Structure formats: C-alpha cells, structure tokens
Chains A and B, each alone.
Chain A
Amino acid sequence: MNAKELIEQIKNGDDKVRGAAWQAAGNAGSTAVRGLAELMFTGEQEVARAAKRALWKIVRYAGRPAGGDETKAVAKELVPLLASGDPNVRREFVWMLSEIGDIHAAPMIALLLNNPNLREDARAALQRIPGDTSLRSLKVALKNGAEDHKPAIAESLRVRGEKVKDFPNQKLVPRKQTAVKNPLAV
C-alpha cells in the first residue's frame, strides 16, 4: 500500500476499512508521515486514532533490524511536526522519536523542555535517545531550565550515568492529601 492509498483508507468512514489500513501501514514509509500527522491534528476521533496507529506502525516497521536508513527518513519527517499544534498530538511524535532514538531529533525535542505541557515527555525522550546531543540538552536544562523541573532533569541525568549532587530524587516525597472523612465517625 502506498502513502496516498493509506491516507484515503484511513479517512474512510468504515471502521473495518480504516482498521485494516492502519494495521497494514508499516511499509507505507516516510512519505505517509505528514499526511497521517495532518489527520491526527484534524480528523474526527476515530480517524485521528487510526492515523496515529498507522504512524506507530510505520515507526516500528522502519526500526526493524533490516530497516537501514528508513528510521532516519521517518525521523526527518517527524521532527518538524514538533513545532506547533495540539500538545496531545505532538506528545505522540515525541515518544515516536524517543523510540526511533535518532540523535538528530534531540535539539528540537530539547526546545520542548520549555513547554509546560510537553516538558516531561521531552525529558523522557532525551533520557532515552542515545548520544552526546541529548545528554548535553539535559545538562543545559539543569542549568537554565525551569526551577521546578530541575529535579526531574537531574533524575534523567542520573539514569544516563551522570553524577548530580543537587536536586535529590523526590520520588518518596508525599504530596497529595485525601479529602475523605472517616465514614465510621459518630
């Protein structure tokens, strides 16, 4: 199935046509990325969902051991999509890039560390993407980023093998109080 055929079938009103299309989307390749992304931003609920799943299929097919440069081609199409639009859609692109692990995606992802809706996804992606660029981005964020996000950044750096003295892990710090009143009280 080529990209044009895939997009048309994803837009189809019949669940069965859409479902079969996204499940067979893997080899549609990088040329389908932009069209599917457009449907993720603008399509009605199930069309957008089918487009998202088709795009994940493409990402995972491209990453197969014999995939060669296909992952780079897919990553190259995904990176510009990080720039604007619904953060709930862009979040998917961040995670796709984290799974591809393309080092060239790191600078654009690093910009999202300043976005309150996406900074945790960006941190997670930079933790996961190998290489110096992602590591350097985390170090810069620890120095210049939002103060309340620094403990999270520090944790990612520790996972990457860096020694970070400040910002101890807050994972065991309780934060949330219950409003439940004792139902057994007289």
Chain B
Amino acid sequence: MKPELTKTTRRSFLKTTGVIAGATTLGLPQIVSPRVFGANNRITLGHIGVGGMGGFHLREMVKRMGSGEVNIAAVCDADEKRLANAWKTAGAQAEVYRDYRYLIQRKDIDAVVIGTPDHWHAVQMVHAAECGKHVYVEKPACCTIEEGKAMIAAATANKVSVQVGSQGRSQPEAYAAHRYIASGMLGKVNKVTCWHYPSPSDDKPVADSAPPPELDWDLWLGPLAWRPYNARYCHGTFRWIMESGGGQIRDRGAHVMSNAMYFMNADHTGPATIEAKGTVPAKGLWDSAMEMEVTYQFKNPDWTLVWSQPGEKIPYFDETRKKKEGIRDGYGAVYHGDKDKLIVWVGDNQVYTEPKAVEFASKPGGVDVYKSPGHHDDWFNGIKTGKKTIMNIEAAVAVSNLTVLGNMSLILDRKLKWDHAKSEIIGDTEAHRMMSRPQRYPYVL
C-alpha cells in the first residue's frame, strides 16, 4: 500500500488515532520562561538518589560535564555507601548530602535529577519545584492520584521544566513507530496490547531486623508509614512492594504504556473504566502482582489498552541484531488498526519496531511528528527555551495514573470508573479515598 502522505492532515490524524484536541505531536507548547544561564550556558545540577537509575543519570551527566554542558554541584543519598561512591563519580567539586533539602535550597543549583524509589518522586519533585529547580525525575511520576495533581500544580506554579524518565519516547525507532501510526498506516487504531514478563515472588522471606549502619531508614521510608526495616525492602527490591514500587506495571508499564499514550496522541486523555485481574505471591513481603491483566477502556474516541503480565510475547524478528544489541524483547506492545498492525518491542532505553515503520520514517514529506534529540537533551531544551518536554509532567501523570488505577483495581478486586476531566474515581467511596494517602510528616507534599 502506498501512503498518500501529503493528504494526511493533522485533522485526519486526530480522527484516525482518536485524539482529543489539546494534544499536539509537533509543536510542544511553551510552558516556562526561557532562562538565562551563565555566559557558557552551563546548567548546574544536583543529583538526588544516586544508586540504580540515579547512578546511571549521574554517570551520564559526568560525561556532559567534560564537554562543559553541565556542572555537578551536589549529590545526595540516604545510603552513605552509595553517597561515598557517588562522590567519587561526581568529582571533588561536588558537595554531598544525606538530606535532599540542603541541596534543593542552594541558590547556585539550577536543576535536579531525582533517581530515588517511587514513593519519593512526588514529594521531592514538588519540593524542588517550590525551590525553583527544574526537575528530571525517574518514572513513574507518582504513586497516588493526588500526588500527580500536586506535581502538575507545582510545575505550573513555579514555571519549571520537568522531564519524567520514560525515555522510550526519545528513542529513534519510537519516532519511526509514532510517525507511521500518525500517518494513518494502520488505519484507525482501536486496540493496543502490551506484554511483559511477570513480577517475582520472594521464596526466602526474612524477618524484620535493624537497618544496615549506612542506611538512614527514616529517610528511605520518607512519606511512607513507619515500619521496621526488612532486608527485602531495598534497594532494588522496593519495586516488588505495592506501596513503594507497584510491580512491573508501575515500572515498565510507565515505559510501554507511555509509548502507547504518546503514539495514540492520548497524553491528555484517560480511560473511562479500568479492570484488573491477577495473582500475587502467597507469602513473603513482596505483594505486587506476579501475573496480571488490566483492561483500560477509552471513550470518545473508543479504544482499548491492555496491560498483560505475561501476555503473548512476540520474539524480536532479527536474531542477529537481537544478540548484537542485546535487545530485551521480554516486553513490548502491538498496535492493532483496522488496516494493519504494528509491533513495538521493549520501550525504555531501547525501542525497536518493524522495518516497514523504520523505512517509512526515512521518506521525505507527509505527516511528521516531534523527533526528540534524546531524553536528557530534550529536557535541557525545555530548561533553556521554555518548551514543554516530550515526557512533561502532565503526560507523565496521565501514564502513572494508568498504573496506579490498574493496581488499585487489582487490590480492590473490582472495576473502577474514572472521570478524567476531574481526575477522580467515581461511584466508589473507598476507591475515591484511596486516591490519596496521607504522608508521614515532614515528608509531605
């Protein structure tokens, strides 16, 4: 089939993919005032949470420090071993802090990179914004509906640029897939099905104990209700606990479903209903679903998004490339249109799609979509020009809400109804109350 590229208008694209007005693909609106930095245009950074993905971001920014793009003025972590290691990575010019509030109150720091566990994202992002800092915060944006609202409000009120770490949108083949779908090559897309391998269970639970001496347990818990330390909480295993990590859906769902919402031009929309089923571990501390399926029904326009653990895995088609590039095809999504379908593999720092979309994207003319220069660079552009980032806070909260609502439907064992315009659950008092969870003082929004 030959595409009639020049005849595909934005209006027809919106109709094809079922998009609500307000979302744009090319011209991301300006949200903050462009900021004047020093003569060298160098951005001064502070890093909060420097293990795991936080460590990855720190190493990336150290590379940019060499080219004069950034200066790393401070690193911070509740784990002093991690902090000492981060200091070695960042260099002697950086100050070190256990408490992020020292860092965000420094006048010389322009922006912060937050790589802490999920339950800290909202509080630290809001506090940083209130101190006038631009923010890169790891995904998922939030753990509750109310946290997401507070994040949007703080970014707007303080006119700061926020990028959330669903970096799949910034990958080259994500651009190809997006452009292919936006050009109407699939026809009307009415269903997106995601697959992802299951979350683990803890087969060797341990008793509560004293925290290791290097860890400030109170600070690690932060906004969460107090409880004794257990070695199964952290570090990376926080992911398998519902309140701090939310399981695979909140981790990789914030990648794979981020791409789905972006490609469907649905960032400013939300589902009408959410229904989840799943199985959770029979024992141990970890309580997020091992296997689960969540169905999100969008209305006006109608389309369905399905998150499945494990779902139907589709192996990447090119074994040679898979081995060479280490393609992790344990997760991805299929976009089902009334004319054709498209497979998109992985979704985070790797995104791969079918040759028909990659080759299509290289042709001139036709509908085009925004091409990110890279996730960090897109954020820097946002800081310097005031334009919205590709994974801006409104878009990120909409994606996080999918994961939050999916988990909520699972633990309540019932279908939920969602009013996206009001950002609230309707017809269920208990679920409505669960949209927020009071935080432990002083770690409050």
Q: Smallest distance from the beta carbon of A49 to chain B beta carbons, Å?
A: 7
Separation of A100 and B442 alpha carbons in the complex (Å): 25
Of B96, B130, B216, B285, the residue contacting A176 (CB under 8 A) is B216
Choose among A26, A117, A172 the residue with the greatest number of B CB atoms under 10 Å from its CB: A172
Q: Smallest distance from the beta carbon of B119 to chain A beta carbons, Å?
A: 14
Quick check: A183 and B99 within 8 Å, CB to CB? no
Quick check: A171 and B433 within 8 Å, CB to CB? no
Separation of A64 and B427 alpha carbons in the complex (Å): 10
Separation of A153 and B200 alpha carbons in the complex (Å): 39
Q: In this assembly, does B97 line the interface, its C-beta being within 8 Å of a C-beta of chain A?
A: yes
The answer to whether residues A172 and B91 also contact, given A95-B225, A99-B430 and a CB cut-off of 8 A, is no
Task: Name A's interface SS.
Answer: helix
Q: In this assembly, does A101 line the interface, its C-beta being within 8 Å of a C-beta of chain B?
A: yes
Quick check: B205 and A184 within 8 Å, CB to CB? no
Choose among A98, A178, A183 the residue with the greatest number of B CB atoms under 10 Å from its CB: A178
* Residues in A whose Cβ lies below 8 Å from that of B97: 174, 178
Separation of A71 and B429 alpha carbons in the complex (Å): 11
* Residues in B whose Cβ lies below 8 Å from that of A169: 442, 444
Quick check: B442 and A173 within 8 Å, CB to CB? yes
Q: In this assembly, does A137 line the interface, its C-beta being within 8 Å of a C-beta of chain B?
A: no
Residue of B at shortest CB range from A19?
B282
* Residues in A whose Cβ lies below 8 Å from that of B131: 172
Q: Indicate with 1 or 0, residue by residue over B426-445, a CB within 8 angstroms of chain A CB atoms.
A: 01111001101111111110
Q: Smallest distance from the beta carbon of B413 to chain A beta carbons, Å?
A: 7
* Residues in A whose Cβ lies below 8 Å from that of B442: 151-152, 169-171, 173
Separation of A170 and B444 alpha carbons in the complex (Å): 9
Quick check: A151 and B283 within 8 Å, CB to CB? no
Of A156, A179, A180, the residue contacting B438 (CB under 8 A) is A156
* Residues in A whose Cβ lies below 8 Å from that of B439: 124
Separation of A143 and B216 alpha carbons in the complex (Å): 32
Quick check: B283 and A60 within 8 Å, CB to CB? no
Separation of A155 and B437 alpha carbons in the complex (Å): 14
The answer to whether residues A128 and B433 also contact, given A172-B105, A176-B219 and a CB cut-off of 8 A, is yes
Residue of A at shortest CB range from B86?
A180
Separation of A61 and B441 alpha carbons in the complex (Å): 30
Q: Smallest distance from the beta carbon of B385 to chain A beta carbons, Å?
A: 29
Quick check: B101 and A91 within 8 Å, CB to CB? no
Q: In this assembly, does A63 line the interface, its C-beta being within 8 Å of a C-beta of chain B?
A: yes
Q: Smallest distance from the beta carbon of A142 to chain B beta carbons, Å?
A: 13
Q: In this assembly, does A175 line the interface, its C-beta being within 8 Å of a C-beta of chain B?
A: yes
Quick check: A60 and B412 within 8 Å, CB to CB? yes
* Residues in B whose Cβ lies below 8 Å from that of A63: 412, 429-430
Q: Indicate with 1 or 0, residue by residue over B221-245, a CB within 8 angstroms of chain A CB atoms.
A: 0000111100000000000000000
Q: Smallest distance from the beta carbon of A80 to chain B beta carbons, Å?
A: 21
Separation of A71 and B123 alpha carbons in the complex (Å): 32
Quick check: B87 and A183 within 8 Å, CB to CB? yes
* Residues in B whose Cβ lies below 8 Å from that of A123: 438, 441
Q: In this assembly, does A18 line the interface, its C-beta being within 8 Å of a C-beta of chain B?
A: yes
Quick check: B83 and A180 within 8 Å, CB to CB? yes
Separation of A169 and B97 alpha carbons in the complex (Å): 22
Q: Smallest distance from the beta carbon of A87 to chain B beta carbons, Å?
A: 9
Within residues 75 to 133 of chain B, which ones have a CB less than 8 A from any CB in chain A? 80, 83-84, 87-88, 91-92, 96-99, 101-102, 104-105, 123, 127, 130-131
The answer to whether residues A171 and B444 also contact, given A23-B280, A120-B226, A121-B225 and a CB cut-off of 8 A, is yes
Quick check: B412 and A174 within 8 Å, CB to CB? no
* Residues in B whose Cβ lies below 8 Å from that of A95: 225
Q: Smallest distance from the beta carbon of B93 to chain A beta carbons, Å?
A: 10
A-B pair count, CB < 8 Å, reads 137
Quick check: B444 and A174 within 8 Å, CB to CB? no
Separation of A19 and B201 alpha carbons in the complex (Å): 12
Q: Smallest distance from the beta carbon of B54 to chain A beta carbons, Å?
A: 16
* Residues in B whose Cβ lies below 8 Å from that of A19: 281-283
Within residues 264 to 289 of chain B, which ones have a CB less than 8 A from any CB in chain A? 279-285, 287
* Residues in A whose Cβ lies below 8 Å from that of B98: 176-178, 180
Q: Indicate with 1 or 0, residue by residue over B281-324, a CB within 8 angstroms of chain A CB atoms.
A: 11111010000000000000000000000000000000000000
Q: Indicate with 1 or 0, residue by residue over A76-113, a CB within 8 angstroms of chain B CB atoms.
A: 00000000000010010001001111000000000000
Quick check: B438 and A127 within 8 Å, CB to CB? yes
Within residues 112 to 132 of chain A, which ones have a CB less than 8 A from any CB in chain B? 117, 120-121, 123-125, 127-128
Q: Smallest distance from the beta carbon of A70 to chain B beta carbons, Å?
A: 11
Quick check: B441 and A178 within 8 Å, CB to CB? no
Residue of B at shortest CB range from A64?
B414
Residue of B at shortest CB range from A127?
B438
| CB-CB nearest 10 A-B residue pairs | A19-B282, A63-B430, A124-B438, A152-B441, A174-B101, A178-B98, A176-B99, A184-B92, A174-B102, A174-B99
Interchain residue pairs with CB less than 8 A apart (6): A16-B282, A63-B429, A63-B430, A178-B83, A179-B80, A183-B87
Question: Assuming A91-B226, A172-B101, what are 6 further A-B pairs, CB within 8 angstroms?
Answer: A65-B429, A101-B430, A121-B225, A169-B444, A173-B442, A182-B92
Give chain B's interface residues, CB within 8 Å of chain A.
80, 83-84, 87-88, 91-92, 96-99, 101-102, 104-105, 123, 127, 130-131, 205, 207, 216, 219, 225-228, 279-285, 287, 411-414, 427-430, 433-434, 436-444
